């Protein structure tokens, strides 16, 4: 578990967390749909009801990856 600084803010990049999920949705070319997995990706049910802070983290994760241009090559 670590942190990423983006646009002057620090985000927890915990696997399954909102920032991580935003990055992954962008990376895999999936649409923007804020969510998280509380105990890691696919370990428990997907949670789509997020706090404003979590939604912001997802958005910033998505934007972070969009700006990097990192995409899955199929």
pLDDT digits (tens, 9 = 90+) for 10-60: 999 999 999 999 999 999 999 999 999 988 766 678 999 999 999 999 999
pLDDT band at 1, cuts 50/70/90?
low
pLDDT of residue 35: 97
Q: Give strand pairing partners of 6.
A: 9
- Beta strand 9-12 with 3-6: parallel, antiparallel or unpaired? antiparallel
pLDDT of residue 40: 76
Q: Hey, where are the domains in the chain?
A: 1-6+29-74
Q: Are 58 and 22 in contact (CB under 8 A)?
A: yes
Please give the Cα distance from 64 to 72 (Å, whole number).
15
Q: Are 28 and 62 in contact (CB under 8 A)?
A: no
What tokens does 62 get? 């998505």
Q: What is the pTM of this model?
A: 0.91
């Amino acid at each position: 578990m670590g942190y990423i600084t983006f646009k002057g803010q620090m985000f927890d990049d915990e696997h399954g967390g909102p920032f991580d999920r935003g990055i992954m949705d962008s990376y895999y070319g999936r649409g923007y749909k804020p969510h998280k997995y509380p105990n890691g990706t696919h370990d428990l049910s997907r949670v789509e009801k997020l706090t404003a802070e979590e939604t912001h983290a997802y958005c910033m994760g998505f934007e972070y990856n969009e700006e990097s241009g990192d995409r899955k090559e199929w």
